[in-house]
Amino acid sequence: MPWHRACLGLLLAATMCCAAATGPERVLKRNSLGRGVAPFGTAAAAFRSISYEFGLGPIGGRLFQEIEVGARGARAAIRILGGAAPESIPPQILGGAAPDYDWRELERRGAGAARPPAGSTIQFPQPGFWEHYRWPIAGTMGFCLLQAALLIGLLVNRAKRLQGKAEVTLIADISARFVNLAPGEVDREIVEAQRRICELLGLDLAALWQWSMETPRIVTMTHLYRPLGGPPLPAPMYAHEHFPWSQQQLEAGRLIRVSSLAQVPAEAARDREVWRHLGIKAILTFPLAPGGAIIGALSFNTMRRERAWPDGLVKRLQLVAQIFSNALERKWAEEAFRTSEARLAAGVELAGLGYYEVDFGELATFADERFHAICGVPAGHHRGLQALEFGMAQLHPDDRQIMLDERARLHDGRIDRISIEYRYLHPGTGEKWIHHLAGVVTRSATGCAVRTCGVVRDITPYKRAELEAQELRGNLTHLARVNSLGALSGSLAHELNQPLGVILSNAQAAQAYLLQDPPDVTEVQAILADIVAADRRAGEVIERLRALLKRGQLSLQPLLLNQVIEGVLHLVRADLSRRGVTAVCELAPDLPLIAGDHVQLQQLVLNLILNAADAMATNDPGMRRLRLQTRLDQNKVRASVRDEGSGLPRDAERLFQPFYTTKPQGLGLGLAICRSIVAAHHGQLWAEPHPEGGAVFHFELPVAGSPDPS
């Protein structure tokens, strides 16, 4: 054995002994520079350090394993010397030798650690850059990632804020453009707003549907923006056929928000089918109901992808829907107003009306050219209230006060409109008839008229025709009265002959009494009293005849209807007696006065009594009873004339038609004249069958002083 190995063995043995004596904790270890010693952990490590000091280089293989075994044997020997039984020490199982190299020595000798033997272990490697700085690098990278995430979040938040600001700015601009927008520009601005909204939000379709006013079930697409195209949209269409669920939601005032067709409820299967056909993937639809009633719907859609509808976006688009809704309502109102104005102008033109307005607050008037022509307003009277004052000054003196009173009632709030006919003294054409209609447009807080409007119409030709017709009706009525009196000529002759006969006989008796000597003055005085009474009776008959034969204008005066009926019965008493007709009167006492023309009402009652007597001409003598009745019915006095004749025809109204008659010798004018008389008195005349047989003719006349029913 070489000497240096012997020395090495002795040195190792001594070292092991020292290690065993001092404990395994006190061993030597090289520092990072390969010099000096430090506490290590095992004897093998100490040996390896000594070997380095001796320049033996990398140590490994079996030599190192044997050193390790020797160290363990030394520890076992120390335990036995300490009194431990040998059999208590377990045997040591030796494994294969595993080479162990020191990285520093490999680097110092130029061997390097890139190609160590298989299964070998490199001890004390030099830490690289990553091993030295991996935690600072990791911290720096984490901080950078955190900063990047924060920056991305800030950028995203800024983008959202810019998007929201852009949306608010766009809606504000749209709202400003619709303020005071002309009706003709509303449609164009709605489509332009749809385009701008779709481009800003990345939407593919914006459609506005309007409900039909005539047929609410029909909706028409009136405004559309769709840059990508697609299948044709049905317009107009029946909403309940294409979108039944959507129509129910919108009519209930609810918006429709669908981010995906998969979210559509089962009851909206038909709607989903149509949306899928049109290529729509997301829907947001608002009802348009400015006044509470739905007028349409505004829909925004996507076709390329599904999308969510955030609450903020929904609120902003809902504001757009309100802007569109108000604009459409204002457009419809203005169009309706223009249409109404056009119709009014056409109606005024066709009716020949002159239109005017008076503003008493501004002390101004407006009058069209036709008003100026009808009233003959000179050119210098078009300012302020001059035209109105000029027209009032030209009223006929007999009609001026009536017009002034009506205008005062209108201005004070006692009436809301006036309708009056008056005579007008036109400066160029002379007297004419004007029909004047006026009403209040605005009143003050006290109820006085502030603004009025009205129309005037020249009714001179119609008034002349009416006066001529009235004259003809008067002539016809007079002829009918004369004809009726002709039928009563026998009775009237009897009515006159009877008092005349009394006068004659009494006069002859008076002459006889006067020839006596002395004359019987007492008897003569009684005879003269009878002559006076008979003369008065004859005078009353003649006066009634004169009244019936007299022609004149209708003059309504307060009178009692019972007195009219009784007067007519005095005239026809003899004729009824000759015909075998018994008159039964049931006239209600204390009836109020009526406003009537005495002569025409006598003719009315006379015609009805004679018609009733004619209807019973074929009855047996004991079955000819005529019943006259009067009574008060609310604010009207009703008179009834009943006969026991054959009754009425199936169509009783035909009896009142001119020239319709059931009499062989009749003209068919009696009942027609009776109805015209009643109409002139603002009353009613009708006929109805009586349950006990025969017919009843009723007429009602308003009580004097009651409101005019017309």
pLDDT of residue 22: 43
**In the predicted model, is pLDDT for residue 498 greater than 50?**
yes
**In the predicted model, is pLDDT for residue 156 greater than 70?**
yes
- Enter the CATH code of domain 180-335: 3.30.450.40
Mean pLDDT of 525-553: 65
pLDDT of residue 608: 86
At the fourth CATH level, the homologous superfamily of domain 555-710 is Histidine kinase-like ATPase, C-terminal domain (3.30.565.10)
Instruction: For residues 271 and 243, give the distance between their C-alpha atoms in angstroms, rounded to a whole number.
Output: 5
Among 115-119, 339-343, 465-469, which range has the highest average pLDDT? 339-343
Confidence category of residue 66, pLDDT binned at 50, 70, 90: low
pLDDT of residue 34: 38
pLDDT of residue 640: 92
Per-residue tokens: 463: 């008034």
Instruction: For residues 448 and 615, give the distance between their C-alpha atoms in angstroms, rounded to a whole number.
Output: 60
Mean pLDDT of 124-137: 76
- Residue 631's H or E segment, with its range, is strand 625-633
**In the predicted model, is pLDDT for residue 538 greater than 80?**
no
* C-alpha neighbours within 13 Å on the C-beta side of residue 492: 17
More confident residue, 706 or 478: 706
Helix, strand, coil % (nearest 5) of the chain? 50, 20, 30
Confidence category of residue 256, pLDDT binned at 50, 70, 90: very high
User: 352-458 adopts what CATH topology?
Assistant: Beta-Lactamase (3.30.450)
pLDDT of residue 664: 53
Whether this prediction's pTM lies above 0.75 is answered by no
pLDDT of residue 146: 87
Confidence category of residue 375, pLDDT binned at 50, 70, 90: confident
For the chain, percent of residues with pLDDT exceeding 90: 9
**In the predicted model, is pLDDT for residue 442 greater than 70?**
yes
| 180-335 against 555-710: fold identical | no
Mean pLDDT of 227-233: 78
Among 215-219, 308-312, 382-386, which range has the highest average pLDDT? 308-312
pLDDT of residue 54: 40
Residue 571 amino acid letter: L
Cβ-contact 76, 97 below 8 angstroms? no
Mean pLDDT of 64-68: 55
Three-state SS for 410-453 is HHHCCCCEEEEEEEEEECCCEEEEEEEEEEEEEECCCCCEEEEE
Arithmetic mean of pLDDT over the chain: 76
pLDDT of residue 377: 83
Lowest mean pLDDT among 266-280, 472-486, 596-610, 657-671: 472-486
**In the predicted model, is pLDDT for residue 480 greater than 70?**
no
More confident residue, 661 or 532: 532
Confidence category of residue 32, pLDDT binned at 50, 70, 90: very low
pLDDT of residue 549: 54
pLDDT of residue 258: 93
Mean pLDDT of 32-52: 43
User: Given the DSSP bridges, would you call strands 695-702 and 636-642 parallel, antiparallel or unpaired?
Assistant: antiparallel
**In the predicted model, is pLDDT for residue 667 greater than 60?**
no
Mean pLDDT of 57-76: 57
Residue 558 amino acid letter: P
More confident residue, 612 or 362: 612
pLDDT of residue 42: 46
Q: Structural domain boundaries of the chain?
A: 3-123, 180-335, 352-458, 460-553, 555-710
Mean pLDDT of 231-251: 81
Respond yes or no on whether the N-terminal peptide bond of residue 518 is cis (omega within 30° of 0): yes
